[in-house]
Amino acid sequence: MKALAPKKMASLGAFGLYCALSLAHAAPEIQSLPSAILQQDSEAQNRLETAPQPSSKIIEESPIRAPLITPEIKMLPPAAAPTPAEATAPKPNAPTRPARAVAQRPAQSKLPKALSLADQAFAAQDYAKVIALLSPHETTLFRQREVGAARLLGWAAYHRADWSLARLWFTRAANWSAQTEDIANIARVELAEGRYTQAEKRLDQLPADEAEWNPLRAQLRLSQALDAFHHKDYAQAQKFLLAADALQALDSGNMELLGWSAYHQGQSSQAALHFERSYRQQPSEGAAQGLVLSRHATGDLSALYRFQDQLAASDNQPLSRLLSDREARQRVLDSSEDEDPRVTLNDDLQLVARIHTPVPQSNQLNMQLFSSASDINTQSDARFRQHGVILEGLLSGERDPLLLRARVFNADDGQQSQNAMNDLYARWRYENRDGLETTLALGNSPSGGLFGSSWLGEIGLGRFETDWGGRISLLRSNVQQSILSMSGASAGTPDGDIVWGQVMSTGLSLNGYRSWDAWKAESSLRLAELRGRNVADNSMVELYANLLRPMEDHWSAGPELFATAYTNNLSQFTPGHGGYYSPQYLLRLGGLLRYASNMPKDSPGWHTRLQAGLGWQQAHEEAADYNPLTGEDPDYYKASTSRGLSGSAELELSYVTQKQWRVGLLLFAQESPSYSSFKGTLSASYRW
């Protein structure tokens, strides 16, 4: 650093003494201000001989204006969230033209002319010119404590979003004037920078009983509310918005934001009132959608139509478009409080009468190469392997798709193997206009076994709505856990060869789902009788359930339950047994994590689904006779219990081309103390 010449050092020393004397003379006035303001003016003394350089970018409007909010709203059933009206925090009471900065000074001074020109430049919104005109006179302004000029420079810097320069000059004005307006101006700068804590401290220094500062206090709460909403802290956003409303009535956009904040917390009744108030002030698409969603969530749809009737009739209003279905209106008004009006929300959030239009499907041809393996880690020590090819065709009618499937495969269970086995399956479904779905299916168990094929089938009824659905079916299926259970086995005895196996399961299946608020439950229940050729009879019950809560980026997670129980233990491979895992009970409790890319089924690009579960499992197999049909060697197989961690993972990845082709990969693995399994599939399909 270069040394200063003695003459210049003397000049600075004299000027510093002058400043010190000036500050001392003003000490009583300065000390009456908060210490936080006084501390900020220390920067001024370091800048006496350095004029501030104007920023190159000019901001033509106040940066305090709140941005457009697009909340990520849980919809029933739309995939994209509505965009509410712009939530606008009130602009600060910033004068477009501050009071003219005029001071008594010698006629030969250049400052009066600069002030006059700066005043004209400010009126013309040329804020860069204001700073350029007055910056060379900073020393004089500071020495003479020109409050008006300090405010002019502060507002010029404010409109240019030069927050550090604006804060400097507003702080000087506050130090020189001790007026609350200058403290408020510092708060405006802190607010514009998003420094809400500092802005609140400034506002706390203003007289609490002066209502003129309420708009600025309301602006702080609105800015805090917008920040909290962006961070999905809806409770805090609601708190700040209510505080702002108490200071100054919210405008339409911010009242709508209050509605979304309540809606996200499940406060649908309160949300509806906020949306109504917003819509009365200014009809908007966001307020209309929020109102429809809120009333749909509470089930009070008649209130929705009563509110519509109170408004000025207009078919072009957003709410009128969402409630344009006359059949839906009639059903709601005619239904009692406890009666289902049979209306629903479509993808555009319109409330419509529930007349089901099936989702259009394409005709498809599909080929899969598959390989699977399973091992039972119990006394039976069974293993089962399959690999082969599946061909499927889907003929899609308007309401009645027909699926045809053929499978050819080889199988091996460690004791015997069978090649070129095949089975066929056909399934037809029909959905009527009320959404009732009928299922009929018929097929055969694998051929090539000792007993030949046996018939399979299903008769089912189902109904599927946006937030609930389910199916009940009568099923007959083949138990495919070993060659014995699938198609039969034989063994030689002193009395001749015996043949047994091919276990068929006949019973009732129920499955469904239910969505509410931010949760979705899925469950299935199966009751069945199991019978085979020369195999002891058995019965079973199986229950599966999960409760998932959506998270960000298409993830969901929650608890998971699986339980099953069999009357008899027929897991072994000796005569009379079925060769399928049949514990007296098995219980698994754990957690489930799921991811699914949010893309239409047939849209081009990558589609991903991922699922993983981890839990604790305990299973018990009761003792079993060597031959449960004859009672030979009672309790030959001893009872056993297993317990420990159980985990599973599944990945489904597919790519859809522009030319209607889809290729995919499916991987599944499961590991537990009782059994382990794996399955892999490669597929290719063409649709038209």
pLDDT in tens, 541-594: 999 999 999 887 789 999 999 999 999 999 999 999 999 999 999 999 999 999
Helix (H, G, I), strand (E, B) or coil at 348: coil
Place of tokens 């939530």: 87
Q: Can you give the pLDDT at residue 106?
A: 42
pLDDT > 90 in the chain, percent = 49
Tell me how crowded residue 66 is: count the other CB atoms within 10 A of its CB.
19
Residues 6+ apart with CB under 8 A from 344: 351, 352, 354, 465, 466
Q: What is the pLDDT of residues 83-132, one digit of tens each?
A: 344 444 444 444 444 554 544 444 346 888 889 998 999 999 999 999 99
State how far Cα 11 lies from the chain centre: 67
Tokens for 664, please give them.
């995919």
Q: Can you give the pLDDT at residue 309?
A: 87
Q: How many alpha carbons fall within 13 Å on the CB side of residue 488? A: 20
List alpha helices for 488-533, DSSP H: none
Inter-residue contact 264 to 290 (CB < 8 Å): no
Tokens for 223, please give them.
């800015």
Tell me how crowded residue 420 is: count the other CB atoms within 10 A of its CB.
10
CA torsion sign, 145 to 149 to 150 to 153? negative
Longest dimension (CA), the chain: 135
Mean pLDDT of 299-327: 82
* Distance, CA of 658 to CA of 662 (rounded, Å): 9
Q: Can you give the pLDDT at residue 604?
A: 83
Helix (H, G, I), strand (E, B) or coil at 586: strand
Place of tokens 């206009």: 433
> 3-class secondary structure for 612-642?
EEEEEEEEEECCECCECCCCECCCCECCEEE
Question: Domain 232-353 adopts which CATH fold?
Answer: 1.25.40
Tokens for 77, please give them.
């059933």
pLDDT band at 11 (very low <50, low <70, confident <90, very high): very low
Place of tokens 């076994």: 449
Burial of 403 (0-12, 13-18, 19+ CB in 10 A): middle
Nearest to 226 by CA among 202, 250, 201, 198: 250
* Distance, CA of 665 to CA of 542 (rounded, Å): 29
Tokens for 145, please give them.
């404590």
In DSSP notation, 238-278 reads: HHHHHHHHHHS---HHHHHHHHHHHHHTT-HHHHHHHHHHH
Q: Can you give the pLDDT at residue 503?
A: 96
Tokens for 280, please give them.
């009365």
Q: Can you give the pLDDT at residue 212?
A: 81
Q: Can you give the pLDDT at residue 134?
A: 92
Tokens for 622, please give them.
């009761």
Packing angle of the helix pair 268-281, 252-264 (nearest 10 deg): 170
* Distance, CA of 518 to CA of 536 (rounded, Å): 47
Per domain, the residue ranges of the chain are 33-228, 232-353, 369-593+615-646
Inter-residue contact 84 to 293 (CB < 8 Å): no
Q: What is the pLDDT of residues 38-50, one digit of tens each?
A: 333 433 333 323 3
pLDDT over 70 (residue 229): yes
The CATH number for 369-593+615-646, chosen from 2.60.120, 2.60.40, 3.10.450, 2.40.160, is 2.40.160
Place of tokens 């200058």: 182
Q: Who wins on pLDDT, 32 or 643? A: 643
* Distance, CA of 306 to CA of 301 (rounded, Å): 9
Q: Can you give the pLDDT at residue 525?
A: 97
Q: What is the pLDDT of residues 180-214, one digit of tens each?
A: 888 889 989 988 888 888 888 888 888 877 788 88
pLDDT band at 36 (very low <50, low <70, confident <90, very high): very low
pLDDT over 80 (residue 392): yes
Distance set, CA 584 to CA 15, 70, 405 (Å): 98, 54, 35
Q: Can you give the pLDDT at residue 199?
A: 86
Q: What is the pLDDT of residues 90-102, one digit of tens each?
A: 444 444 445 545 4
Residues 6+ apart with CB under 8 A from 208: none
pLDDT band at 59 (very low <50, low <70, confident <90, very high): very low
| Mean pLDDT of the chain, nearest integer | 81
* Distance, CA of 99 to CA of 152 (rounded, Å): 8
- Whether residue 52 is preceded by a cis peptide bond, meaning omega within 30 degrees of 0, is no
The β-bridge partners of 216 are none
* Distance, CA of 146 to CA of 630 (rounded, Å): 112
Tell me how crowded residue 637 is: count the other CB atoms within 10 A of its CB.
21
Q: What is the pLDDT of residues 406-452, one digit of tens each?
A: 999 999 988 788 898 999 999 999 988 777 899 999 999 998 888 88
List alpha helices for 423-548, DSSP H: 483-487
The β-bridge partners of 411 are 386, 418
pLDDT over 80 (residue 601): no
Most confident of 69-73, 216-220, 390-394: 390-394
Mean pLDDT of 223-248: 91
Burial per residue of 640-671, b for 16 or more beta-carbon CB atoms within 10 angstroms, e otherwise? eebeeebebebebebebeeeeebebebebbbb
* Distance, CA of 315 to CA of 325 (rounded, Å): 12
Q: What is the pLDDT of residues 654-682, one digit of tens each?
A: 999 877 899 999 999 999 998 899 999 99
Quote the radius of gyration of the chain (alpha carbons, Å). Answer: 39
Inter-residue contact 439 to 471 (CB < 8 Å): yes
* Distance, CA of 76 to CA of 351 (rounded, Å): 11
Element spanning 423, H or E = strand 417-431
pLDDT > 70 in the chain, percent = 80
Q: Lowest-pLDDT range, 145-159, 357-371, 545-559, 627-641?
A: 357-371
Residues 6+ apart with CB under 8 A from 467: 76, 77, 514, 515, 516
Q: Can you give the pLDDT at residue 316?
A: 60
Q: Who wins on pLDDT, 400 or 538? A: 538
